[in-house]
Amino acid sequence: MHKRILPIFFALTTSFAFAQGDPTDTTEVEQPEMISEHTSEIEVCGFSSDGKYFVFTQVVPGDYNGGTGYVYVIDVTTNNWAHKPAVLEPENADWTTEEIKDSLHYKRDSVLTKYKVKRGSFGQAFGLSSSNKIVVGGKTYALELNTPNNLIDFHLTGNGKDIILQKDKQLPKSRGSVRAYRLHKAYVFGDKIAVFIEYDGDVQEGFENMRYYNRKYIAVTAVVK
């Protein structure tokens, strides 16, 4: 059974309506047009016991149903994939997002075993919606995210340090089109960190001409010495 994603974000378009104060005036005024926000769901699995690897999953919703699941393993010291991300795509158009998530667990568990990651071993979590501060080794640092031309220039600053976490030279194809970035959450495991950056893609037109945009996440890792 197909599952429709409910629209929850508003953009402005024009339609005819009565202007306040004059019931005979048919001046055009702004009225909302519904746009769906397709927010990806991530599961933070955690760090390996030695802190060398960081694993998480992400399910990206489809246009109106299903979606695609991913299992990511990052080499924390290099901030690069430890191997190519595992991908799970629906076997048919009737798959729901929940079915994709259930099937993704098999791939996830295999990866966790290979890299010796125990689910939930992510250390201390920091929400970054209202503050960009995290604590590593008892010291407070600031996460500084700049996005010139939609490229990431991301630093950890404080205590006499300015550590470049990520600096894009060009926009990766895997990220697609981007129109906004923001800090999401950070996880600290000893002297290792993993920071999630949330980003919005461009508005697209999909099933039955519904307009929507994707909200996805990337993780940036580092060792703070």
Each residue's pLDDT tens digit, 46-85: 999 999 999 999 999 877 667 899 999 999 999 999 989 9
Average of per-residue pLDDT across 120-148: 97
This prediction's pTM: 0.81
Residue 123 is encoded by which pair of tokens? 């250390």
Q: What is the pLDDT of residues 142-197, one digit of tens each?
A: 999 999 999 999 999 999 999 999 999 999 988 988 999 999 999 999 999 999 99
Q: Pick from 222, 158, 224, 157: which is nearest to 194 by CA? A: 222
Q: Of residues 64 and 122, which shows the higher confidence score?
A: 122
Q: Decide: 66 and 95 in contact? Cβ < 8 Å.
A: yes
Q: What is the pLDDT of residue 161?
A: 96
Mean predicted lDDT score pLDDT of the chain: 84
**Pick from 200, 204, 224: nearest CA to 135:** 224
Question: Which SS3 state, helix, strand or coil, does residue 9 take?
Answer: strand
| Structure confidence by residue, pLDDT tens digits, 20-38 | 344 444 445 444 466 776 7
For strands 211-223 and 28-39, give the pairing.
Answer: parallel
